[in-house]
A and B are shown apart, each in its own frame.
Chain A
Amino acid sequence: MAEPRVVIAGVGMTPVGEHWELSLRHLGMEAIQAAMADAGGLRPQMLYVANSMAPALSGQSHLGALMADFAGLRGAEAASIEAAGASGGVAIRQAVLAIAAGAAEVAMVLGVEKVTDQPSSSVERALATGSDADYEAAQGVTASAQAALLMRRYLHETHAPADALAGFSLTAHRNAVTNPNAMFRRSIQPEQYSRAAVVSDPLNTYDAAPMADGAAALILTRSDLTSANGSHPMIEICGSAVSTGALALHDQPDPLILTAARESVRRALLQSGLSLDEIQLFELHDRFSIYAALSLEAAGFAERGAGWQLAQNGAISLTGRIPITTFGGSKARRDRGVSGGRGDLAASGACRREPGRTGDRRPHPVPGRRRCDRSQPAATAAELRVSDSGPRLK
């Protein structure tokens, strides 16, 4: 029997920003309704809510029931998925498994974070719960500080110049200009990067994505449930994998190698039957610019210590060998909280970049584009998607 093909039937998202007027549940519902409308009214039987900070920042857990209830999906099988910054990717993986296993015909993934209700010290503490509470957070180490520790070591080992990672920020900001849902829709100049204020030395404000509120939703279904004359093209998920590394940075055998990213990309490629050479676009975890470099290396687009060079020679631009952060990334679109929902935000962005969708200014020929998304250093997820002009919504 042929493997069932899992396709993305609909996407929906809110702008990323400071939504003072919207609560966690309202943000989530806006994305859910947009995705259901995009999928021609397909009603999910399963709902996976990716979120990592609501218990700490909103005093709210049990998000599966909350969102199913609030969005009019009462009765649906629902649960929240928490894997720190990889929550979105891991939730997509659960939905893919549910569809592929035949346990559901239509599944929804919602990523949602509400961070702006709390002062930054509370957000930092909530973020730090994703690290090792006893041996990292107890020392007062923040997510930014951890990225800075890796960045300094990286610059030390590679002998790269101080502005080696500037290209990641410049590229993300350039690509956000055409994204109506991005928070920072303006390009930046190299001088701005060099002059930027320090967050945690050597990491500056342009190396770090600020935190904001937002939500994104995906509806997944099986290709045989779609028709050839629907309203828009389908994206097939032809590979999906999750892997884990050491929780604490200091427990990674080599902290500069994101082994979970490496392994998840390898597994997803294996499932898809594709080689890395065939991947034409890569959405990655760029909450901090150093993670973009390390992700490119982990995936195999660059040797260890050479990822930063891809940001210098144009390889990651929209017309380059391997475009990244094509919708502004976390940096310019702005990070939705710890991006419990980042994975699916990237995924929804990815769909938006496919032929016939809004905002596509890519000069590349697009049909059949293969893409790969991944997120977060410790736990990580990768999905491979192939745009498919065949099946359409019934």
Chain B
Amino acid sequence: MEPSRNWRLNQQRYSLVGEVCPNCEHKIFPPRDVCPDCGQPAHELFKFSGHGEVYSFTTVYHAPAGHTEDAPYPVAIVKLDEGPLVTAQLTDLGERQVEIGMPVEMVTRKLGSDGERGMLVYGYKFRPQLH
């Protein structure tokens, strides 16, 4: 991941900052400046709570280059409390069996690296909700 590209995404990666549509109040993540629901401009930033539930989940055994050291790892689509779905890895599962509907919360973790001397990329993952 190129440093400038990573820097552009840091509000999303570290803080789940999306947008809210001033017209229909639809919450948008990731931000796209146009409401996917009503088509109106949507530039107002909105910070998501980071809470949600598992919409679906699986495990990656055959990882793409850049992630092979981490395999196998669990991935999910999480339905955020505010509405949007987001694709993310699950973490801190311990012995927990994942289920659809399981409450989860966002944490910041290492997403990958560009080789031994490359940049470390951090971003959101989701863990079972603690309380």
Surface stretch bound by B, among A3-11, A249-257, A310-318: A249-257
Enumerate chain A residues within 8 angstroms of B121, measured Cβ to Cβ.
138
Say yes or no: A124-B63 contact (C-beta < 8 A), given A149-B56, A149-B58, A152-B56.
Answer: yes
**Is A201's beta carbon under 8 Å from chain B?**
yes
Whether the Cβ atoms of B84 and A250 lie closer than 8 Å is yes
**Is B88's beta carbon under 8 Å from chain A?**
yes
Enumerate chain B residues within 8 angstroms of A250, measured Cβ to Cβ.
77, 84-87
Whether the Cβ atoms of A203 and B58 lie closer than 8 Å is yes
Residue of A nearest to B67 (CB): A140
Enumerate chain A residues within 8 angstroms of B87, measured Cβ to Cβ.
132, 135-136, 139, 141, 248-250
**Is B46's beta carbon under 8 Å from chain A?**
no
**Is A37's beta carbon under 8 Å from chain B?**
no
**Is B60's beta carbon under 8 Å from chain A?**
yes
Whether the Cβ atoms of B62 and A199 lie closer than 8 Å is yes
Interface residues as binary, A193-211 with B (CB distance below 8 Å gives 1, 0 otherwise): 0000011111100000000
Most chain-A CB neighbours within 10 Å: which of B59, B60, B73, B123? B60
Whether the Cβ atoms of B77 and A201 lie closer than 8 Å is no
Whether the Cβ atoms of A153 and B56 lie closer than 8 Å is yes
Say yes or no: A122-B65 contact (C-beta < 8 A), given A149-B77, A153-B100.
Answer: yes
Q: How many residues of B contact A (CB 8 A)?
A: 36
Enumerate chain B residues within 8 angstroms of A125, measured Cβ to Cβ.
64-66
Whether the Cβ atoms of B89 and A251 lie closer than 8 Å is no
Number of inter-chain CB pairs below 8 Å: 105
Chain A nearest CB: distance from B9 CB in Å? Answer: 6
Report how far A249 CA is from B67 CA in the complex, Å: 20
Report how far A200 CA is from B72 CA in the complex, Å: 10
**Is A237's beta carbon under 8 Å from chain B?**
no
Whether the Cβ atoms of A142 and B70 lie closer than 8 Å is no
Enumerate chain A residues within 8 angstroms of B68, measured Cβ to Cβ.
121
Enumerate chain A residues within 8 angstroms of B85, measured Cβ to Cβ.
249-251, 255
**Is A241's beta carbon under 8 Å from chain B?**
no
Chain A nearest CB: distance from B38 CB in Å? Answer: 13
Residue of A nearest to B89 (CB): A139
Contact among A124, A156, A199 for B64, CB-based, below 8 A: A124
Enumerate chain B residues within 8 angstroms of A21, measured Cβ to Cβ.
none
Which residues of A are at the interface with B, using a C-beta cutoff of 8 A?
120-122, 124-125, 127-128, 132, 134-142, 144-145, 148-150, 152-153, 156, 198-203, 246, 248-251, 255
